[in-house]
Amino acid sequence: MIMKTETAPKDINRGKILFMGMLIYIVGGISYSWGLVQPYIIDYYSVDTSFASIPFSINLGIFVVGNLIGGKMQQILPTQKALYIGIFMKCFGIFASGFIPAGAPWLLIVTYGVIVGIGAGVVYNTLLTAMQKYFPDKKGMATGFILCMMGVSGFYLSPIINYILINYSLRAMFAVLGILAFVAGMIGAYFVKDPPAGYMPPKQASRRQITIDKSLQYEPHQMLKTKQYYYITLSMMLAVPGFMLINPQFVLLSEERLITGAQALTAIMLASVFQAVGRLLVPFLSDKLGRVKILLIIFACSALSILGLTFVKGMLYPVLFIALAFFYGGIMGIYPSLSSDYFGLKHAGINYSFVLIGFGTASILCPFLVRAVKGTAMGPSLSFAIAAGAAIIGLVLVVLLRKYPHHETKPAHSAKTEKEM
């Protein structure tokens, strides 16, 4: 243990820094609106639906690579510089996507899939790590606000994107979003810098002594040797199918489930809102009640919602879908803080990027699973069964994780303890 006395600089306004972090994500939800963009890509480039979805799928997979790069960058560069680089890459990729000639649609894979994916991953990882360092006492709340902004931006961006596409062009849409993201991102990043060494929040810093457990500051190679890492990563991977296998088929099954097209579309919009609320509320509650406990509850509720969605009809069908979106948002919002709870804040960026391998793997596999089950006798029912099974196995992994409280974990080789006054 290290005993240290720290003082919090009086000029640090954590609320302002959190707000500026949210500003960086003003167009963070563009990926949620890809369904609106896809028909225009099909028309302009004369490609089929499968090809039009490839840039989006590549973006999801490369996003994880961007997180790994962002985590590594934080070890050699200040937070602000890492953010500048990530924002520039992301915005350049969005802007350049509007200038791909009709005869070279494969370049969209490079601009939107690879460049935007890497830039978005760098920004995501760097920003969440910075917020946790400024809010070590409220990690769930801080990351929840950032992730909520992603969900909310997807909601308000959809009508903006739709308006530009209808009244102007695909090129104009990418150009407008690229410029908007760049201006807002650079303004926000100007205020998001590394906190001072040894920074603690005012209430904690006012204490006479602060205990810092260095054994919890895992380096990546230490983390990868723990069971906890695999429980966390695999459970994150198994949380994804619950929403991503059902979401693409929700509207298609509306007539069979006895709801109108208008009711289905309303449910999709409400699901976006509730997913954003879940990303904010559930991490906030986890600060108060414990992350593993909340994760157990949310996984169980997700499994029950999916099981209900396999057979219910009428208005209960959209209600359960909206509930599932809330639980999915909540689960995704907990993992950044859960990772730093178990493995520490010192290497939080690079460590969480390894945890995100679970998310990236599932995000890439789910679209293939949706296509694969269409040709089976069970059809969509098989998707629901896979999603429910994944949620139940994820629940089991969280139960196993509960056996390893984060304050009792030890790295492969513990750091020597010392006292400093």
3-state secondary structure the chain: CEEECCCCCCCCCHHHHHHHHHHHCCCCCHHHHHHHHHHHHHHHHCCCHHHHHHHHHHHHHHHHHHHHHHHHHHHHCCHHHHHHHHHHHHHHHHHHHCCCCCCCCCHHHHHHHHHHHHHHHHHHHHHHHHHHHHCCCCHHHHHHHHHHHHHHHHHHHHHHHHHHHHHCCHHHHHHHHHHHHHHHHHHHHHHCCCCCCCCCCHHHHCCCCEEECHHHCCCHHHHCCCHHHHHHHHHHHHHCHHHHCCHHHHCCCCCCCCCCHHHHHHHHHHHHHHHHHHHHHHHHHHHHHCHHHHHHHHHHHHHHHHHHHCCCCCCHHHHHHHHHHHHHHHHHHHHHHHHHHHHCCCCHHHHHHHHCHHHHHHHHHHHHHHHHHHCCCCCHHHHHHHHHHHHHHHHHHHHHHCCCCHHHCCCCCCCCCCCCC
Q: Determine if residue 410 is left, alpha or beta; phi over 0 gives left, psi from -120 to 50 gives alpha, anything else beta.
A: beta
Model pTM?
A: 0.84
Task: Note whether residue 41 is domain-resident.
Answer: yes
Average pLDDT (137-164) is: 88
Q: Which residues pair with 211 in a beta bridge?
A: 3
Same domain, 52 and 161: yes
Kindly report, residue by residue over 89-143, the tens digit of the pLDDT: 999 999 999 999 999 999 999 999 999 999 999 999 999 999 999 998 899 999 9
Residue 419 scores a pLDDT above 50: no
The yes-or-no verdict on residue 364 having pLDDT over 90 is: no
What does the alpha-carbon distance between residue 136 and residue 341 come to, in Å, rounded to a whole number?
10
Domain that holds residue 321: 216-408
Model confidence at 159, pLDDT cuts 50, 70, 90, reads confident
Examine residue 375 and state whether it is found in any structural domain, yes or no.
Answer: yes
Tell me the average pLDDT of the chain: 87
Q: Which of 270, 268, 272, 298 is nearest to 283 (CA)?
A: 298
- Where a domain ends, among 129, 163, 196? 196
Domain count, the chain: 2
Question: Within this chain, do residues 299 and 166 fall inside the same structural domain, yes or no?
Answer: no
Residues paired with 212 in a beta bridge: 2
| Side-chain-side CA neighbours of residue 151 (13 Å) | 27
47-96 pLDDT, tens digit each: 987 788 889 888 988 999 999 999 999 999 999 999 999 999 999 999 99
For residues 56 and 78, give the distance between their C-alpha atoms in angstroms, rounded to a whole number.
Answer: 30
Q: 153 and 119: one domain?
A: yes
> 237 and 374, same structural domain?
yes
Of 131, 163, 196, the domain-final residue:
196
Q: Do residues 23 and 78 share a domain?
A: yes
Q: Is residue 420 part of a domain?
A: no
Mean pLDDT over 289-314 rounds to 94
By the 10 Å C-beta count (0-12 exposed, 13-18 middle, 19+ buried), 46 is classed as exposed
Cα–Cα distance measured from residue 297 to residue 280, given in angstroms and rounded to the nearest whole number: 16
Residue 5 lies in a domain: no
279 and 154 together in one domain = no
- Please tell me whether residues 87 and 151 are part of one structural domain: yes
pLDDT band at 150 (very low <50, low <70, confident <90, very high): confident
Phi, then psi, of 210 in degrees rounded to 5: -125, 130
Q: Which residue from 363, 336, 383 is spatially nearest to 31, judged by alpha carbons?
A: 363
In this structure, the answer to whether residues 178 and 31 fall within a common structural domain is yes
Q: What is the CATH number of the domain that holds 150?
A: 1.20.1250.20
Please identify, among 141, 164, 196, the residue that sits at the C-terminal boundary of a domain.
196
Residues 169 and 251 in one domain: no
Q: Does 280 lie in the same domain as 192?
A: no
Domain assignment present for 118: yes
Residue 66 lies in a domain: yes
Question: Does residue 414 have a pLDDT over 50?
Answer: no
Residue 50 within a domain: yes
CA-nearest of 328, 333, 345 to 274 is 328
- Of 33-37, 181-185, 187-191, 300-304, the range with the lowest mean pLDDT is 33-37
Statement to judge: residues 170 and 257 lie in one domain: no
Residues 233 and 336 in one domain: yes
* Contact by Cβ (8 Å): 114, 54: no
CB 62 within 8 Å of CB 118: yes
Question: Is 205 inside a domain boundary?
Answer: no
Report the pLDDT value the prediction gives residue 11, as an integer from 0 to 100: 64
- Confidence tier at 171 by pLDDT (50, 70, 90): very high
